[in-house]
Amino acid sequence: MNPAWALAALGLVDAAFSGFRAYAGRDARIRKHRAVVHAALRGLSVGAVLLLAPAFTAGAVLLLAEDPDRAYGALADGGVGFLVPLGAYALAVLFSLAAYLALPFRASTLAVVVGLGPLTLARPLVVAAACAGALVAGGGWTSLLVGAVAGAAVLCVEPYVHRRWYAPAY
């Protein structure tokens, strides 16, 4: 099983949410649907560019490997190990979003405070767990390298979008 497409999809969705988070709370207008979509697209575009880094890293690992088939298998195993913590995290976020959208106002506010807030703060820990999963799942050091590059890329989207477009001008 090659988890590359699933990881890319999760990375791009996370990048879109990172763009939203970089924008959220910085605009006092009531109707800001267009601005929210614009912020999410900014995050998505930055994430698409930054997520090329792990793809190039994996390509370099395969080009430099003595046995490319074995290296590909190790990267695939590491990718599955990387995907497991991220998939569990994505399910928790999806559950919190579903609660936010489906529940009445007070309960949906509680879902955001109890679910999405702590989950946002846990993103770096989840990425670290995913890197450890890549190493433990049999991917070896090359999978850890690709996972670390992917994790750094994912975690850099929100600060970049914030500083580029939404940082206050002092």
Per-residue tens of pLDDT for the chain, all 170 residues: 789 999 999 999 999 999 999 998 888 888 889 999 999 999 999 999 999 999 999 999 999 999 999 999 999 999 999 999 999 999 999 999 999 999 999 999 998 899 888 999 999 999 999 999 999 998 899 999 999 999 999 999 999 999 999 988 77
Q: What is the pLDDT of residue 56?
A: 97
DSSP the chain: ---HHHHHHHHHHHHHHHHHHHHTTS---S--HHHHHHHHHHHHHHHHHHTHHHHHHHHHHHHH-SSHHHHHHHHHHHHHHHHHHHHHHHHHHHHHHHHHHHS-HHHHHHHIIIIIHHHHHTHHHHHHHHHHHHIIIIIHHHHHHHHHHHHHHHHHHHHHHIIIIIS---
Q: What is the pLDDT of residue 23?
A: 93
Q: What is the pLDDT of residue 25?
A: 83
